[in-house]
Amino acid sequence: MSTPQPATTLEITLTVNGERVARRVPVRQNLADFLRDTLGLTGTHVGCEHGVCGACTVRVDGAIVRACLMLAVQADGATVVTIEGAADDGAYGNVIADLRREFHQRNALQCGFCTPAMLLTAAELVVRHPQATRDEIRAHLSGNYCRCTGYQSIVDAVAAVCRASTNS
Amino acid sequence: MKAPPFAYLRPAELSQALDLINIYGTDARLLAGGQSLLSALNMRLAAPSVLIDINGLTELTGITLQQDRLVIGALTRHAEIERSPLIAQHVPLLALAMPHVAHPAVRNRGTIGGSLAFADPAAELPACCVALDAVMIISGRSGERRVRARDFFHGLYETALQPGEILVAVEFAIARPGERCAFRELARRQGDYAMVGAVALSIVDGGVLHDVHLAFFGVGDRPVLAAYAAAQLEEGIATAERIAAAQQALVRDFSAQGDVYCSGAMRMHLARVLLGRVIHDLTRTDAGGVQA
């Protein structure tokens, strides 16, 4: 096998919110910037750009990741779901809709900057571990910063969806 | 900020990756999970001219049981280790530690090899490997070599890895009958690097501890094996007196360094508190200590 040659741009093909997308991207572009600037999907927010605030969380191949800590070229061949497509994403879609309703009812957002990532992060917990206690909900959301709500209403909303999904 | 410009390479197999890292030398960095490296690039704390993305090297992934050893490929993601039944059964300390490693979205991407090769002194996994006496399996163009975790961490972000080498796997002895483990850390927020962390491992037989291993992290420039403290607990019941003696002996194992978060004295105090807690975890029958 021949040795690969270094590249500064690459052709990538991936699925974003159910649609096939092919683009040539700079190798240094992170996935969050690709989604926002190239595809216009601005629901993925860019806060700290070093993996601390969690605002850029998206789902890649079924698992939430920091889109600022993944290069767009690393998503070649992957299936990406952003907040724009999350409500249409199978079993996750219903959970996203439930979370959105509970967030709305409890004022679990104020400025809304953290909300898309909060919903995607919380949905992973509801699907994987709906029996989660409040402490487990807090631990699971610990990588997503909210500077408005003080978290109480967010934890309330996620707990309500967890409760409803274990009762149904 | 955005990452500085770099060129990108995606080898398809280990031999290619070894060739590339030898061609580009110290100008290149290996990109595994990227959860520390891409963050450092975005903050412009690092500016390699070439990134060699090893995520396509499937031969470096997975968890396999080989008789009395469990081998974890360097590219195995934290989330897989966290949920692995093989890990829970055979190296339960790693399962205990995983929820403390960053946050779920980071654990979905970060790799064990990346964490160990990065060698942050406040990270959880290096200390676990030191306590467990794990063996690092390292590949270079001249072949493979094995380095004990206890000889692998040389200082702040410094390891035994030589230029041109890649950490390919970590090997653990599986837990013995009666072996218990405990893990505790103190951090300002869930998921942060620890201010202080403690790991304990011992055979517990009728309350008597045998073969005690204690490791601490976040206290200096690398994870520390606390042999003097462990010796105070060896071959006895963990009475309050023996735990106090171990806490006193800790000062012989390391002198904790201070930073902006806490002074060295406070850190040593917290290390002693955690020592008491992990020993308590080992010897109680409910949560905390995991029965092997």
Give per-residue pLDDT as tens, B114-133. Answer: 999 999 999 999 999 999 99
Which residue among A50, A71, A142 sits closest to B191, beta carbon to beta carbon?
A: A142
With b for 16 or more beta-carbon neighbours within 10 A and e for fewer, the A23-53 pattern comes to eebbbbbbbbbbbbeebebebbbbbbbbbbb
Beta strand residue intervals within B20-161, DSSP E: 28-31, 50-53, 63-66, 69-73, 135-140, 143-148, 153-155, 158-159
Exposure on the CB side of residue A2, measured as CA atoms within 13 A: 3
User: Which residues, in sequence order, are bridge partners of residue B29?
Assistant: B51
Is A55 near chain B, with CB under 8 Å?
A: no
Residues sharing a CB contact under 8 Å with residue B244, sequence separation 6 or more, in sequence order: none
Q: Which of B15-24, B25-34, B62-71, B254-263 has the lowest mean pLDDT?
A: B254-263
Residue of A nearest to B103 (CA): A143
Q: How, if at all, do strands B7-9 and A9-16 pair? A: unpaired
Nearest-angstrom CA–CA distance, B190 and B94: 17
Q: What angle do CA B28, B31, B35 make, to 5 degrees?
A: 130
DSSP A78-145: -EEE-HHHHTTSHHHHHHHHHHHHHHHHTT--SS-SSHHHHHHHHHHHHHH-TT--HHHHHHHTTTS-
pLDDT of the residue at B291? 45
pLDDT of the residue at B289? 46
pLDDT of the residue at A90? 85
Q: B-chain residues within 8 Å CB-CB of A50? A: 39, 42-43
Is A47 near chain B, with CB under 8 Å?
A: no
Looking at residue B207, the DSSP 8-state letter turns out to be T
pLDDT of the residue at B292? 40
Nearest-angstrom CA–CA distance, A161 and A149: 18
Nearest-angstrom CA–CA distance, B126 and B133: 10
pTM equals 0.95
Nearest-angstrom CA–CA distance, B90 and B75: 19
* Residue type for position A127: V
Is the CB of residue B116 less than 8 Å from the CB of residue B135? no
Nearest-angstrom CA–CA distance, A122 and A116: 10
Q: What is the pLDDT of residues A47-60, one digit of tens each?
A: 999 999 999 999 99
Quick check: helix, strand or coil at residue B231?
Answer: helix
Nearest-angstrom CA–CA distance, B97 and B125: 7
- Reported as a pLDDT band with limits 50, 70 and 90, residue B265 is very high
pLDDT of the residue at B192? 84
* Residue type for position B236: G
Residue B1, burial from CB neighbour count under 10 angstroms (0-12, 13-18, 19+) = exposed
Is the CB of residue A43 less than 8 Å from the CB of residue A116? yes
In this predicted structure, the answer to whether residue B274 has a pLDDT above a threshold of 70 is yes
Q: B-chain residues within 8 Å CB-CB of A7? A: 7-9
- Mutate which of A48, A61, A69, A126 to disrupt the B interface (most B C-beta within 10 Å)? A69
Q: What is the pLDDT of residues B194-207, one digit of tens each?
A: 999 999 999 999 99
A119 alpha carbon, distance to own chain's centre: 7
In B, residues 234-253, which contact A (CB 8 Å cutoff)? none
In this predicted complex, what is the ipTM? 0.96
CA distance B110 to chain A (A): 10
Quick check: helix, strand or coil at residue B4?
Answer: coil
pLDDT of the residue at B218? 96
Residue B62, burial from CB neighbour count under 10 angstroms (0-12, 13-18, 19+) = middle
Is the CB of residue A51 less than 8 Å from the CB of residue B39? yes
Which residue among A54, A65, A74 sits closest to B55, beta carbon to beta carbon?
A: A74
